[in-house]
Amino acid sequence: MHLAIIMDGNGRWATRRGLPRFMGHRAGAEVVRQITTYCAAHPEIEILTLFAFSTENWKRPKEEINYLMKLLGNYLERERNTYLKNRVRLKVIGDISPFSKELQKKIRETEEVTIDGDRLTQVLALNYGGRAEIVRAVQRTLQKGEAITIETIGKNLDLPTDVDLLIRTSGEERISNFLLWQIAYGELFFTPTLFPDFTTTELEKIITQFKKRERRFGAISPIPKK
């Protein structure tokens, strides 16, 4: 199963508690650890993709962006043992070239040191946008001299794996330019829970609901026999 999560609501979580927004991001990072550990132990989840920083997030206040970059760097250092202990492989998608050289180095080093993780691949979408990813895939396809088809574009994406289940927290019911190609037949769940309050118990309940859905992929349901 490929599970994707739009981690929304960190800022609102902090604001409602009279806290600075960065406290919400810090609390959200703790939830990421819990969810990653849960998914690594889950027998059916192979990929966990998290929307960590979008191409539109650069519009936020500079102080918040700087904190998010620092938080990411600290997270990668702090969670390295968590990755290794739970046999989690890190993969980053998106354009990280605007990030500092130091942060880019931490990202690549963590990807390299966790490359043998065989229980779960945790994908962090950083400076990522679904439309930009599709453009990159088309460019790669053309550079290889391949014909433009669904198959060739699909295999040249940053993340060439379809999403089975997409969850968005915080009550917002939109995709926000996330994995536009990969969610073509994914099942969508929206929860009002702000991300710092999102628990593995709620995740488990959503997965249970997901398993009850009939996924037809454009076909029709079989007619029950009389």
**Catalytic pick among 10, 57, 74, 197:** 57
**Catalytic pick among 8, 86, 156, 158:** 8
57 counts as catalytic: yes
Nearest to 116 by CA among 86, 160, 146: 86
Q: Are the C-beta atoms of residues 195 and 7 closer than 8 Å to each other?
A: yes
What is the rounded distance in angstroms from the CA atom of residue 176 to the CA atom of residue 129?
8
66 counts as catalytic: no
What tokens were used for 214?
């009939």
What tokens were used for 63?
């102080």
Residue length, the chain?
Answer: 226
- From residue 179, alpha-carbon distances to 13, 60, 219, 223 in Å are 25, 22, 23, 33
Sole residue written with tokens 């979408």 = 125
> Which amino acids are annotated catalytic?
8, 57
